Structure 1
Amino acid sequence: MPYIEAMNRIAITLTALMLSTAPLMAQEAGDESVDEGFSLLEEGAKIIMRSMLDEVEPTLKDLQFQLGEAWGEMEPMLRDLSAMIGDIKNYHAPEVLPNGDIIIRRKSPEELAMPEPGEEIDI
C-alpha cells in the first residue's frame, strides 16, 4: 500500500528533524530562541503533513470510490438479509461446532418473553 510507505517515510523524516533540532535548542539559553526553535519545528511538521496528505489524497479518493461501488452492490442484499433476520435480540450468540460450522440459534418464544439479566421487570 503506497500510502503506508509514504506515511513511514514522513514519520522517519519528522523524527530525524526533531532529533536534529534538539541539540540546537539545548545549546541556546534564551526563551526567545527556544520559542523560535519550536516555531521552526512546528512549521516543519506542517510542511511534512501537507506533503503526506498530498501523496495520500489520490489513494484515499480511489478507496472512497471503490467503497461506494461496493456499498452500492451490497446494499440491496443487506436490506434483504436484514428483513429476513429482523431483530438481532431474537437470536442466541453464535456457536462454533467442532467441525468448524457456525450456527446461530433462534430464541424460543419462552426465551423471548423472559427479561434479560439486569433488565427491569414491569409489575
Structure 2
Amino acid sequence: MKSILYIAALTFSLTLSATAQDVAQEQSEQDERSLMQRGFEMFFEGLLNEVEPLTEDLNQLSDALEPSLQALIEEFGPALRDLADKIDDATRYEAPEVLPNGDIIIRRKEDAAPNTDAPSADGQIEI
C-alpha cells in the first residue's frame, strides 16, 4: 500500500513539475514578447521625439516658401506644359550618353513605336 502511495505521489509531483515548467516557459515567452514590444515602442517614441522638431521646422519653411513657389508655378506652368507637349514619350528613348567630345546624345530605342508626329517624306508636318 505504501508503494502505491509513493508511486502516486511521485507521479503527481512529476505531473505538477511538468505543468509548472510549461507555465514558466509560456510566461517567459510572453515576457520576451512584451519586452520586445516595449523595446520597439521605446525606439519609435524616441525616433518620433527626435523628428518632431524637424517636422515643425519643415512646416515653417514650407509656409514661408509657398507664395514663392505659387508664383513660380504660375509663371513657368504654361511654358512647361508647352515643352511637355513638344517632347515625345520619354520611354521611347535610351538614357542620355555623353560622347568624348562633350556632346550629349539621346538615342531612340529600336523597339519604340514610330513617332506619328514625324515629318513626312517631303519634309512637311501636317497640322
* Range of TM-score over shorter length: 0.3 to 0.5
Q: Higher relative contact order by CA 8 Å / sep ≥ 6: 1 or 2?
A: 1
Output the TM-score relative to the length of structure 2: 0.42
TM-score calculated relative to the size of structure 1? 0.43
